[in-house]
Amino acid sequence: MFDHFGILAPVYEKYIKPKAPEKLTELAQLPIEGSLLDVGGGTGRVSQFFLKDTGKVFLADLSHKMLVESQSKNGLIPACSHSEFLPFPEGEFERIVIVDVLHHVCDQQQTINEMWRVLKPGGRIIIEEPDIHHWAVKLIALAEKLALMRSHFLDADQILTLFTDLPGNKKSIQEGHNIWIVVDKK
């Protein structure tokens, strides 16, 4: 399999600027005492901002080269792994974030199931994805198809459907080009 993100890793944050994730921090109800997992966290461009608000911050990403870049952000704990087979015990994390990643994974349902498995009861998952109904996101989706990426964008209702058989409170929020899915595990 071709690693698009491995090629981009050294310059990723030059073009995809880190942004302070105020919305994610609010939705994750940080600070917390326990651990947070950033699925598909790559260089740590998002999760670096959670270090002060959590006990430990783990990154799981398939691209080894992206994780190498994350090592410049002291405190992040990288794990090279598929999102469908996370190398963590059941109920390990109080919070899980997955930012602009769900459309890149091979098996979206298995990724959701794995995140659910490693989430503690009472924990929260926050998914941030581009809103495929917005024209600019449709252009990004087309560009990713042309680049032979395996992207498969879902809208908010389709993402919520991935949680149908999982007991918890679920909601979606749409703002501008983004959607957020927030799920609390009972």
Q: Which CATH number is 4-185 given?
A: 3.40.50.150
- Count of CB atoms situated within 10 Å of the CB of 50: 24
**Domain limits, the chain:** 4-185
Write the pLDDT tens digit of every residue in 117-176: 999 999 999 999 999 898 888 888 788 777 767 789 999 999 999 999 999 999 999 988
56-77, pLDDT tens digit by residue? Answer: 999 999 988 889 889 989 999 9
Q: Tell me how far apart the alpha carbons of residues 114 and 67 are, in angstroms, rounded to a whole number.
A: 20
Summarised one tens digit per residue, pLDDT across range 87-133 is: 999 999 999 999 999 999 999 999 999 999 999 999 999 999 999 89
Q: Which residues contact 22 (CB under 8 A, 6 or more apart)?
A: none
Instruction: Give the pTM.
Output: 0.91
| pLDDT value at 3 more than 70 | no
For the chain, what is the mean pLDDT?
A: 90
